[in-house]
């Protein structure tokens, strides 16, 4: 039971962290729970697709190409792809999606649902030390990949027509790349990569919080000075 709670606690804390930053109009809890739950069950198809892709990994074991294939395709593309699909099916046309920051909230909840199930599996198999390590690395990373996805999808939903396709694509591409880099650094298993990993995690947090602040301040429920600037996608 303690291990189970240790597995879930980081996701709950992060979900609350991003939820309370929605200053102007909170999202309905039943929809957030649904997003979290669907993110959790997406682990099932992800597992089967990843197993299939691993089976077709023809590259030399432990080569940088093999690591890149696993990091960017098997993990990054598949996991972020299913999160993207979950968000699109549940939220994209939902009437509750009425401000840009909503996309970040829902993408984070989907991502944390996925991360929670993944974390439970790792922790129950390997113990409390893994629970602590993943609580400060892998689980927050999934949340931050969700922030990047939600940032671009939030803009895509409310941007001018000529910008929508671009930001919609970025909503999938950017989290795949960020996720792939994260896994690639870890999978190289080189001691000198530890400092790079720490710097990269710091970059993810800085980037993520900048994205959060930007979309929160773009809320239509806050009085803003709307500028009709051709360079502005909103």
Residues contacting residue 143 through CB under 8 Å, at least 6 positions apart: 14, 18, 108, 111, 112, 115, 208
Alpha helices for 78-229 (secondary structure H): 78-90, 100-126, 128-135, 138-158, 161-187, 193-216
Residues 174, 217: Cα–Cα separation, whole Å = 22
Q: Is position 221 within any domain?
A: no
Q: Is position 116 within any domain?
A: yes
Q: Is position 192 within any domain?
A: yes
Q: How far apart are the two ends of the chain, measured CA to CA in Å?
A: 47
How is 131-157 classified by DSSP, letter by letter? HHHHHTTHHHHHHHHHHHHHHHHHHHH
pTM of the model: 0.89
Q: Is position 13 within any domain?
A: yes
Q: Is position 184 within any domain?
A: yes
**What are the CA-CA distances from residue 189 to residues 77, 99, 133, 147 (Å)?**
21, 41, 16, 27
Q: Which domain holds residue 187?
A: 2-18+28-216
- Centroid of chain to Cα 125: 24
Q: Is position 114 within any domain?
A: yes
The pLDDT of residue 27 is: 93
Residue pLDDT tens, the chain, 234 long: 677 787 788 999 999 999 999 888 899 999 999 999 999 999 999 999 999 998 877 666 778 888 999 999 999 999 999 999 999 999 999 999 999 999 999 999 999 999 999 988 887 777 777 777 888 899 999 999 999 999 999 999 998 889 999 999 999 999 999 999 999 999 988 788 889 999 999 999 999 999 999 999 887 877 654 444 555 565
Residues 76, 82: Cα–Cα separation, whole Å = 10
Q: Is position 223 within any domain?
A: no
The pLDDT of residue 125 is: 75
Q: How many domains does the chain have?
A: 1
Q: Is position 76 within any domain?
A: yes
The pLDDT of residue 193 is: 84
Nearest to 5 by CA among 132, 183, 194: 132
């Amino acid at each position: 039971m303690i291990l189970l709670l240790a597995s879930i606690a980081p996701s709950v804390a992060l979900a609350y962290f991003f939820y309370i930053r929605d200053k102007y109009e909170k999202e309905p809890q039943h929809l957030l729970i649904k997003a979290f739950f669907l993110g959790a069950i997406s682990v099932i198809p992800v597992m089967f697709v990843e197993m299939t892709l691993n089976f077709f990994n023809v590259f030399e074991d432990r080569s940088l190409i093999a690591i890149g294939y696993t990091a960017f395709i098997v993990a990054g593309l598949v996991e972020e792809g299913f999160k993207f699909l979950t968000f699109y099916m549940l939220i994209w046309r939902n009437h509750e999606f009425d401000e840009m920051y909503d996309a970040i909230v829902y993408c984070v909840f989907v991502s944390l649902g996925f991360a929670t199930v993944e974390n439970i599996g790792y922790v129950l198999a390997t113990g409390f030390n893994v629970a602590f390590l993943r609580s400060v690395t892998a689980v927050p990373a999934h949340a931050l990949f969700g922030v990047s996805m939600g940032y671009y999808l939030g803009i895509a939903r409310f941007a001018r027509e000529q910008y929508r396709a671009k930001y919609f694509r970025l909503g999938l591409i950017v989290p795949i790349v960020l996720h792939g880099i994260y896994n690639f650094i870890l999978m190289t298993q080189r001691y000198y990569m530890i400092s790079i990993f720490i710097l990269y995690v710091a970059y993810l947090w800085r980037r993520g919080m900048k994205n959060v602040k930007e979309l929160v301040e773009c809320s239509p429920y806050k009085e803003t000075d709307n500028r009709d600037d051709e360079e502005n996608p909103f």
